[in-house]
Structure formats: C-alpha cells, structure tokens
Amino acid sequence: MNHRGLIQVYTGDGKGKTTAALGLALRAVGQGMKAIIIQFIKGDRTCGEHIFAAQYHPFEIVQLSTKSSFDQTLEELRSSAEQSFAFAEKIIVDGGYDMVILDEIFIAVNKGLVSTEQVLNLMNKKPETMELILTGRGAPKEITQKADLVTEMTAIKHPFTKGIAARKGIEY
Ligand code: ATP
Ligand code: MG
C-alpha cells in the first residue's frame, strides 16, 4: 500500500472505540495491509479479539505488561507504559506496518504515564504511508487538533447503567 496514511482518533465515553479500531484493522488486512495493535492498558487476554488473533493471525495484538493494570503499583504502571511507548515508537519509526493502532493510549496519557508531548512527537515520526490510530477516553485537545480524523463516541445509553454486566463476545 502506498497511499497517504493519516492519523485517526477515537475518543469519548461511549462504547465503540476499541471495536472501531479492530474493524479498521480487519478492513485493512482484507486489502492486503499489515496491521498491529499495541494495547497500553493490559486487559484480559480472553477478549474475543485476542482469541481470534491467536487462532487466525490476521493481525498482531501486543500487550507488553504481563500483570493486569489493577494489580500494578504506580511504578509498575509507569514502567509498563514506558516499555509500551518505546515499543510503539520503534514499530512506527521502522515503518514495517501499514496500520498501527495504539489502543487506550489516552488512558496512559490521562494517568500521567505518557505525556501529551511524547504522543505529539510520535505523531510527527509516522512514515508518510502509515495509518496511525489512537484510542481511549479523554484525548487531549492538542492531539485532536493535530489528527486528521477525530470521532468522539457519546454514551447516550449503555446497558451497564441498567446493571447489565459486561457480556462475552460483546464487551470482551
Ligand atoms: P469497545 O471495546 O466495546 O469498543 P471502548 O473501547 O469504546 O469499547 P473503553 O472505554 O475502552 O470502551 O471501555 C472498556 C470496556 O467498557 C469495554 O468492555 C466497553 O465495552 C465498556 N464500555 C464502553 N463504554 C462504556 C460505558 N459508557 N459504560 C460502561 N461500560 C462501557
Ligand atoms: Mg477501548
């Protein structure tokens, strides 16, 4: 692929940020592009997308932290965010992928583990043809101003508020 790559942001409180990014990865792979998802906040590897990726290898999903973010001290969180950021930077600069997704990067920014300036610098380093996708609640204004596409998911309704817990295949 050698078309111009842009920078996309999926943010807001509503459901659909990570799944939008996964949908883009699926579409990109279908068109012969190579995609990687780097997850900044460790989630459960029993998520449907992890099981799917392990079975069919459509794209890579990388989580550098081995411990759940709930079980980590601030120091451990900081160190895993630093490792994830360094890995993301290497992947972006190397230019071996057509699509790079930094999932929940804004959570790391909002926790003070990665700075807005670091993300802005990373956005500058993107190779011309690479599509860069950033997700997570609370995208900083400086980043949305610089991005080419910004969608804010608004939580008009979510079954969670009715007491319906996360469902397999839907939420994870
Ligand atoms: P998804 O992964 O379903 O696309 P998301 O990436 O937009 O959701 P996150 O902010 O990453 O949402 O939230 C993580 C988890 O919380 C996911 O399981 C998601 O489905 C669920 N969730 C998303 N929005 C809400 C909401 N408004 N209230 C409660 N739970 C939510
Ligand atoms: Mg998400």
DSSP secondary structure string, 11-61?
ESSSS-HHHHHHHHHHHHHHTT--EEEEESS---TTSHHHHHHHHH-SSEE
Q: How far is CA 67 from the centre of its chain?
A: 18
How much distance in Å is there from the Cα of 23 to the middle of ligand 2?
A: 13
Residues with CB under 5 A from ligand 2 (ion): 17-18
pLDDT at 125: 97
Q: Indicate which residue's Cα is closest to atom 15 of ligand 1.
A: 171
Phi/psi of residue 103, nearest 5 degrees? -80, 135
Report CA-CA distances (Å) from 90 to 68, 95, 123, 127: 24, 9, 13, 12
Closest atom of ligand 1 to 104 CA is 11
How much distance in Å is there from the Cα of 53 to the middle of ligand 1?
A: 20
Phi/psi of residue 121, nearest 5 degrees? -65, -40
pLDDT at 3: 79
Closest atom of ligand 1 to 155 CA is 27
* pLDDT tens, residue order, the chain (172 aa): 567 999 999 999 999 999 999 999 999 999 999 999 999 987 667 899 999 999 999 999 999 877 777 788 888 889 999 999 999 999 999 999 999 999 999 999 999 999 999 999 999 999 999 999 999 999 999 999 999 999 999 999 999 999 999 999 999 9
pLDDT at 56: 97
Ligand nearest to the CA of 15: 1
| pTM of structure | 0.95
Ligand 1 is surrounded, with C-beta below 6 A, by: 13-19, 137, 153, 155, 158, 160, 166, 171-172
Closest Cα to residue 92, out of 116, 68, 123? 123
pLDDT at 72: 81
pLDDT at 141: 98
Closest atom of ligand 1 to 22 CA is 4
How much distance in Å is there from the Cα of 115 to the middle of ligand 2?
A: 19
**3-state secondary structure at position 65:** coil
